[in-house]
Amino acid sequence: MSQAAADTQTKKQILNWINKNGILLALILLFVALSVLNQYFLTATNLTNVARQVSINGILAVGMTFVILTAGIDLSIGSIAAICGAVAASLVVGDTAMSPMVAILAGVGVGATLGLINGGLVGYAFLPPFVVTLGMLSVARGTTLIFTDGMPISRLSDEFKFLGQGDVYGLPIPTLIFMAVVIVSWFALKHTVYGRWVYAVGGNPRSARTSGVPVRGVITSVYVIMGALCGLAGLILTARTTAALPQAGVAYELDAIAAVVIGGTSLAGGVGGIGATVIGVLIIGLINNGLDLMGVSSYYQQIIKGSIIVLAVLLDRSRRSHH
């Protein structure tokens, strides 16, 4: 092989690598840029802050990854998180506070139940997920307002608040929960039959059915998982803000969907994964944190975030067309 040919070969390999790992590269570049631009960014406190701050959106985005892998969407997650948080909070108020474990079970249970309603309507009644979850967005928010009477539920027990504010060996509890969710979900999607089913349903539902995948059940299940994770996120949100607010979680679906899309999971289903979503979550978290540290106006923040979402999809598209 001539020297020139070898050079082109290496060049091609590098380009290939960049194509494949573009989003990871973007994350690393962002991290380095923020470290250089701001003296506070690369401090232990700040990185702990980032780890804590991304966990709620992270948990929601992991659930959203399951849903989007089946070519679905869930717009109701902010509202479901709000009602779960409110139900959980009502159990740990004042002198009659129950154990936080009861609150966790109740919150996650309510979320899973609402997810089951979403999933059943999508999987068995064949309604479009966009419509079903748009309806749930409104129903769950209304229910939250009725349940809370439009007032914050506060005076929560310290044990419950520990869920959002505490830490173990310097690692914030929300971060630990997020990490656990990531590991379990990654394993389920990568190394179990269930995971293969989820990809199969999103990739090609017809051939999935003919090869014996319980398509309806799988579709229903991803919304149940999403709902349960909304419950978890709602609990942490409530514990962090020390009160269940009737307006909590408004528009949280946008950041969760954005994280999944930035990571490279295709809205058409069947392509993507948890690792990609975690990168998406970190990118959004770093943008929020970095721009706050530098005091950039939130008007610019929204433009920057929106542009990055579109750029990520553009990058993804060009990557796919190469193969």
Partner 1 sequence: MSLRKIGLKVATIAAVSGLMGTSIAAAEEYRIAVPLQGLTAEFMQLWVKGANEHPAVVDGTVNLTVFDGRLDALTQSNHFDTIITQQFDAVIFIPVDAEAGTEPARRALEAGIPVFGSNTLVSDPSVYQAYVGSNDVVAGEVVAQTIIDQLGERKNVVVLEGPIGHSAQIQRAEGIASVVAASEGVNVLAQRTANWSRAEALALMENWLTAYPGQIDGVIAQNDEMALGAIEALRARGVSTDDVPVAGIDGIGDALVAVQEGTMSTTLQDATGQAQGAIDLALRHLVGEGYEPRSPLWETYSDSLSWNGGTESTYMIPWVPVTLDNVEELLARRN
Q: Does residue 152 bind partner 1 (CB under 8 A)?
A: yes
Rounded distance, CA 306 to CA 286, Å? 14
Q: Does residue 154 bind partner 1 (CB under 8 A)?
A: yes
Structure tokens at 182: 């990531």
Angle formed at CA 57 by CA 314 and CA 75, multiple of 5 degrees: 75
Structure tokens at 81: 């998180």
- Answer for which of 127, 241, 271, 304 binds partner 1 (CB under 8 A) is 241
* Residue carrying the six token digits 């992991």: 62
SS3 171: strand
Determine how many CB atoms are found less than 10 A away from the CB of residue 109. Answer: 16
Rounded distance, CA 210 to CA 20, Å? 32
Q: Does residue 232 bind partner 1 (CB under 8 A)?
A: no
Angle formed at CA 117 by CA 114 and CA 119, multiple of 5 degrees: 110
Whose CA is closest to 103, among 54, 144, 162? 162
Shortest approach of partner 1 to residue 78 CB, angstroms? Answer: 10
Shortest approach of partner 1 to residue 200 CB, angstroms? Answer: 36
**Nearer CB in complex with partner 1: 89/312:** 89
Distances (CA, A) of 74 to 57, 87, 209, 250, 310: 14, 21, 23, 14, 20
Shortest approach of partner 1 to residue 254 CB, angstroms? Answer: 12
- Answer for which of 23, 27, 53, 218 binds partner 1 (CB under 8 A) is 53
Q: Which of residues 296-315 bind partner 1 (CB under 8 A)?
A: 296-300
Q: Does residue 9 bind partner 1 (CB under 8 A)?
A: no
- Answer for which of 247, 268, 307, 320 binds partner 1 (CB under 8 A) is 247
**Nearer CB in complex with partner 1: 23/237:** 237
Rounded distance, CA 241 to CA 147, Å? 18
Q: Does residue 128 bind partner 1 (CB under 8 A)?
A: no
User: Which amino acid type is present at position 186?
Assistant: W
Rounded distance, CA 279 to CA 284, Å? 9
Shortest approach of partner 1 to residue 47 CB, angstroms? Answer: 10
Q: Does residue 52 bind partner 1 (CB under 8 A)?
A: yes
Shortest approach of partner 1 to residue 22 CB, angstroms? Answer: 27
Q: Does residue 177 bind partner 1 (CB under 8 A)?
A: no
Structure tokens at 61: 């985005």
Shortest approach of partner 1 to residue 295 CB, angstroms? Answer: 4
Shortest approach of partner 1 to residue 146 CB, angstroms? Answer: 12
Structure tokens at 266: 């295709």
Q: Does residue 181 bind partner 1 (CB under 8 A)?
A: no
- Answer for which of 98, 116, 179, 293 binds partner 1 (CB under 8 A) is 293
Q: Does residue 40 bind partner 1 (CB under 8 A)?
A: yes
- Answer for which of 19, 21, 25, 49 binds partner 1 (CB under 8 A) is 49
Rounded distance, CA 184 to CA 62, Å? 10
Shortest approach of partner 1 to residue 37 CB, angstroms? Answer: 10
Residue 248 is classified by DSSP as: T
Which residues are at the interface with partner 1 (CB under 8 A)? 40, 43, 45-46, 49, 52-53, 56, 149-152, 154, 165, 237, 240-243, 245-248, 250, 288-289, 292-300
